Amino acid sequence: MNIDFEKRLEEISGTRHFKVNEPMKLHTTFRIGGPADFFIVPENLSGFIEVIKLCKEYEVPYYIIGNGSNLLVGDKGIRGVVIQLCHTFEEVGYEDQEDGQVLVRAGAGILLSKLAKEVADKGLSGLEFAAGIPGTFGGAVTMNAGAYGGEIKSLILYATVLSDEGDTFTLNHDDLKLEYRTSIIQEKGYIVLEGGLMLNPGDKRSIKSKIQDLTSRRKEKQPLEYPSAGSAFKRPKGHFAGALIQKAGLKGYRVGDAMVSEKHCGFIINVGSAMASDVVSLMNDVKEKVYESSGVHIEPEIRMIGEF
């Protein structure tokens, strides 16, 4: 790697936010992944844009991650720069609307669970479903995150994004083209900087009670005690991936330390020191056996980056 590039990258990032050969297993909820050449957490938007410009100048690949909750990083790591937008860009603002609703403006780096609890504390309803989702708000907008009958699509008014050319602009609700686990943001490779949600005032106790109920249901039904990347497969039309996997007799199916959860077959869990290669092999086996069993193709929901 170019020494001048590394020096300039460290100058932009600051020593506290700049790491070399950083193990990515420390930054994914799967607790899997080899080292990234460079790992940085930008302090502000201008620094973030500077880093991207520098990477382009030196033709160094870069990857944007949030909380690493829907991510599998290859065992050989990542060549280039990983930029983490989590626990940064966390500003939240509130604007009362004439019709009684409240526009909540949130930075991309705030955890969705933290945002859901913050708006609940203010007596705002609509985001209860998201209190247990481990990703960032930016990631949630990008993939139209959802759970328990709720999804970002039903709440979002706009998102401000950064294009690959370095332009910043705002997309309204319709422009975002939010569908099941996808959006125009994914399609175009945009980076979410902030977004606006329209929420309704409600009874604070009822809102918090709903969050507690959903949290209890998650603990009961999902393998939260193990590292994972959440739902491993997208929901095929007319089916549930977990049910298809269970029907194929794969509950507890294991490759190395990667295992189909016995609590919820839609999750692949790390029961020890799983490698990315274990997860990939297991997922390929699951896809093949589910198709043999049901004739249904299932596709990964987990994002995979790096060298496998």
Q: Which residues are catalytic?
A: 181, 231, 301
Helix (H, G, I), strand (E, B) or coil at 233: strand
| Contact between 191 and 162 (Cβ < 8 Å) | yes
C-alpha 253/C-alpha 245 separation (Å) is 10
List for the chain the helix, strand, coil content (%; round to 5): 35, 30, 40
Q: Tell me the CA distances in angstroms from 216 to 84, 153, 169, 172, 175, one per residue in order.
A: 30, 25, 39, 34, 36
Q: Tell me the CA distances in angstroms from 228 to 14, 84, 86, one per residue in order.
A: 31, 19, 18
Q: What are the b/e assignments for 58-67, b being 16+ CB within 10 Å?
A: eebebbbbbb
C-alpha 219/C-alpha 224 separation (Å) is 6
Angle made by CA atoms 44, 140, 270, in degrees to the nearest 5? 100
